[in-house]
Amino acid sequence: MAVLGTATKRLLTRKELCEATGFSDWAILNFRKMGMPAIRIDRAVRFDLEDCIDWLKQNSQEISK
């Protein structure tokens, strides 16, 4: 059985991502609209902290506008 890379990582809720990054819930919602990576599990949306931090670094100039 193959194990996916994210299967061993802890996935965060939006609230947990807000606490981990210091961004507001509103900001995370906007980042999602801009393409921040997320994993959908049925109706739930979860975030890999490392992927989100990488995305924020890559998109920092667009975010600061």
pLDDT level of residue 1 (50, 70, 90 thresholds): very low
For residue 27, the domain's CATH number is 1.10.10.10
One DSSP character per residue, the chain reads ----GGGGSPEEPHHHHHHHH---HHHHHHHHHHT---EEETTEEEEEHHHHHHHHHHTHHHHT-
Its pTM surpasses 0.75 = yes
Residue whose tokens read 């049925």: 42
Amino acid making up residue 53: I
pLDDT single digits (tens) 26-37: 999 999 999 999
Considering the domain boundaries, does residue 22 fall inside one? yes
2-31 mean pLDDT? 86
In a domain, 5, yes or no: no
Which residues span the domain enclosing 36?
10-63
| Residue 32 included in any domain | yes
Mean pLDDT of 6-32: 91
What size, in residues, is the chain?
65
Per-residue pLDDT at 13: 97
Q: Judge whether 4 lies within some domain.
A: no
Structural domain tally of the chain? 1
> Would residue 3 count as lying in a domain?
no
CA triplet 24, 25, 28: central angle to 5 degrees?
90
